[in-house]
Amino acid sequence: MGPGVRRAALILLPWLAIVALWYGVHHSGLISPALVPAPHAVAARFAELATGRLPLDILMSTRRVVTGVALGIALAVPAGFVLGWYRQVRTFVDPLVNFFRALPPIALIPLVIVYFGVDELAKTVILFYAAFFAGVIVMYEGISQISPIYLRVARTLGASDSEIFLKVVVPMTVPHMLTALRVALGVAWATLVASELIAAQRGLGALIQDAASFFQLDIIYVGIISIGFIALAMDLALRRLSRRLLAWQERMA
Amino acid sequence: MTTGRVRIAFEGVSVAFGPPDRRLRVVDDVSYAIHDGEFVSVIGPSGCGKTTMLNMVAGFMQPTAGRVLLDGKPVTGPGPDRGVIFQEYGVFPWLTVRQNIEFGLKLRANRRPAAERAEIARRYMRLMGLEDFADAWPRTLSGGMRQRLALARAYAVRPQFLLMDEPFGALDAQTRSAMQNLLLEVLRTEGKTVMLITHSVEEALYLSSRIVVMTARPTRIREIVEVPFGYPRAEALHEQPEFGRLRSHLRDLVMQEYAAQARQRFAVTD
């Protein structure tokens, strides 16, 4: 058995175990089989939806997540710089950030609907909120941990303030930016589905909600599994990017 | 011993930290001059304020009273004329060995064309024995190699002064002694005015032309010791009777100051 085969087997094994467990529960009689659709039934439904509404739902959800996270992180990075850099600013902004971060974005959905309606704007606003507060914390804690020795060294070599920022602070914060992005993506997916459950015609959350109204459990499973795999794919892509950008780091993500 | 002009001067320098009611006096009225081409080591009990003296020359901090002069002008901030070497190396982890050495040469303050940069980097990689590691990340280097890289990077911008704060303190004994010899060798080919902070009497004696012994905090100059050995120096110097005599004398002085420091601590906590 070659190392490639072995690796593939190790990766597949837990998934096969889950499917096996799923079949086990389905046939065990502990729960009515009507409440736990069989894996092959869900797979069949998946294939059917794949030629139907599923691609558009996936596209809509992914687009919302990407837009919200892109906007949130685009603002979280500069905000994180300011907060991490100027300790004085942090002393009075810190409680504010923690207050807003502690509010689950889902709890704000009703208010967002009141102020921004039920269209794309509302979802973008809620995802922006979720991504921003998840990202800003990671950013500013990362920046405030930069060892001052690098700044001192740069200064003794003749670096100006702007050179220190561009050539020392920015490269040192790339790892934190990537972490912020990963954290924000996770939070954004959780928030997205909740907001789509409440108000959306399209998207994976809407798919699940529609199926729930008709008690189509297999479709609910299709929706849930799709969300999981998309989030997993995004995380893998980010990790690959990290590995390329952070080849210098001692510990790899 | 030295007749060169004064390069670094402390004039009645005092440093204190904290609010007036809980003032911590660190340096107390120190006056001292370092001449061109001298290698001056500053020794004293740890925590006495040696690093504070170096930080003022480096431009990281200002004296509370008195002046620190560099070629007759007060120090206002850090600059590429003074290369600083720290115990923690400060090698940039996100740059390769070559990029670390070229870092200073890409700054506006001392920018050089690419070809010249490459030439300078090659030269110092060779001098420091790093030429096989040009494209390596610092995390793959040993402590001694990281400190050699820090030295190469400092030298690349052609500073006139070398300020070193316990540069070899984190290295094992063998590496430390190899680094001392390398430093002496490099200094021989490109002379600099050097200020070294160390708590190793042995290291101070082996490297410097003059040693300043500081007292416990608030630190003053306890004694200035002329080191009577010429350059170049070799390991055999450690075995000379005069070396041994000076070593015990310096150790006595430092131990007395440690004792004074301990008495102070006791008095405060009592």
pLDDT tens-digit profile of A56-109? Answer: 999 999 999 999 999 999 999 889 888 887 878 888 888 888 898 888 888 888
Q: Which of B112, B140, B158 is the last residue of a domain?
A: B158
- Chain A CB contacts of B92 below 8 Å: 150, 153, 168, 171
The span from the CA of B163 to the CA of B193, in Å, is 9
pTM of the predicted structure, to 2 decimals: 0.82
pLDDT, one tens digit per residue, over A155-169 is 999 999 999 999 998
Distance to chain B for A246, nearest Cα, Å: 8
Which stretch of DSSP H or E encloses residue B54?
helix B50-58
Contact A242, A183 (CB under 8 A): no
- DSSP state, B165? E
B166: in domain: yes
Band (pLDDT 50/70/90 cuts) for residue A1 is low
Whether residues B187 and B263 fall in one domain: yes
Instruction: Give the closest of A150, A152, A248 to B137, CB-based.
Output: A248
- DSSP state, B48? S
Range of the domain at B140: 90-158
Whether residues B74 and B164 fall in one domain: yes
What is the pLDDT at residue A192?
85
Number of residue pairs across A and B with CB atoms under 8 Å? 74
pLDDT at residue B157 tops 80: yes
What proportion of chain B, given as a percentage, has pLDDT over 70? 97
Whether residues B117 and B242 fall in one domain: no
What is the pLDDT at residue A250?
64
Distance to chain B for A166, nearest Cα, Å: 11
What are the Cα distances from residue B11, in Å, to B33, B66, B67, B258? Answer: 8, 6, 5, 26
What's the total number of domains in chain B?
A: 2
Q: Chain B: residue nearest A157 by CA?
A: B80
When pLDDT is averaged across residues A120-125 and rounded to a whole number, the result is: 88
Whether residues B168 and B142 fall in one domain: no
Is B109–A155 a contact, with Cβ atoms under 8 angstroms apart? no
B31: in domain: yes
Whether residues B76 and B20 fall in one domain: yes
B83: contact with A, CB 8 A cutoff: yes
Assign B98 to helix, strand or coil.
helix
Matching residue, tokens 């040696």: B50
Whether residues B223 and B123 fall in one domain: no
The span from the CA of B232 to the CA of B102, in Å, is 30
Whether residues B142 and B176 fall in one domain: no
| Interface confidence (ipTM) of the complex | 0.88
B37: in domain: yes
Matching residue, tokens 């509404």: A53
When pLDDT is averaged across residues B82-86 and rounded to a whole number, the result is: 94
Whether residues B145 and B169 fall in one domain: no
Band (pLDDT 50/70/90 cuts) for residue B102 is very high
Q: How many Cβ atoms from other residues are within 10 Å of residue A1's Cβ?
A: 6
